[in-house]
Amino acid sequence: MKFEVTILGCGAALPTSKRFPTAQVVQLNEQLFLVDCGEGTQIQLRKYKVRFLRINHIFISHLHGDHYLGLPGLISSMHLLGRRKELHVYGPKGIDEIIDTNLRHSFTQLNFELIYHFTNPKEQEELHTTETFSISTIILKHRIPCTGFLFQEKERKPKINKSVIKEHQLLIPEIIALKRREDVVRENGEILAWEKLTLKVPEPKSYAYCSDTKMYERVVEQVQGVSCLYHESTFLNDQKERAAKTYHTTAEQAAQVASKAGVEQLVLGHFSSRYRDLERFLEEAHAHFANTLLAEEGLKIVIDS
């Protein structure tokens, strides 16, 4: 299972010469998922050599421009490059009006189908699932409807050594049962315990993306024990009141969420343009949660490989 995240943009509302607005790509096996699409995302996709025609699912957390303004341009480029495969866009109601209005007034008729999936900002829901992973929403608390996204591997089937198959002369139905974590009882009374005959498989990994939100205890419940948590940290503590007023989070608060939720790793992002030096974000976070990284453009986070 290849499970990686590439940061394309980590800035807040105003783009700067050093930080693009929010966008990132999640890779699960050979599938690519785009999470938020701020202004300039397609430039970043090219810069970091992401083959964006392979992206079939785009997740938009909310309808503030720094999280979706790159989407009409990206869709247009996909059209110009001859895309034929359908594209799924997940986001709040209204995302369809934004994109369709742009297409209508530019007299653009896409070569491919756009399929919209509207997210519910009040209840967690599963958005996409396969045999090996699922993607669901995380309920956040922002000024407008907003969700995060949780990428979770599913429990893997145990594997069996070829030597074990030969040694016990396993039949196909027995192999299937052992992979389902079921003991096999033969007619002669012999018991084949699946735990003894199968190889240990890695624990499922997970990635939680928490876009714009104020400090919110419900988030702690939803991201319990995840392998990696990306959490917005727009401000430092000197702007704690402003963070609360604008429904954002400080670096310290993000670290407190990570600590309470017992996550393995925290990545801070969505930095206000007022800050040039980001080291203080790490200092404030490390006081509460040691395993913290700063998001930066081009950063690749390996969650499972």
Active-site residues, by number, are 66
Of the candidates 293, 138, 151, the residue with the CA atom closest to the CA atom of residue 212:
138
Contact 292, 302 (CB under 8 A): no
82 by Cβ neighbours in 10 Å (0-12 / 13-18 / 19+) ranks as exposed
Tokens describing residue 245: 């007023």
The amino acid at residue 118 is F
Say which DSSP state 269 is in: E
Residue 49 burial class via C-beta count within 10 angstroms: exposed 0-12, middle 13-18, buried 19 and up: exposed
* Percentages (nearest 5) of helix, strand, coil residues in the chain: 30, 30, 45
CA distance 150 to 135: 6
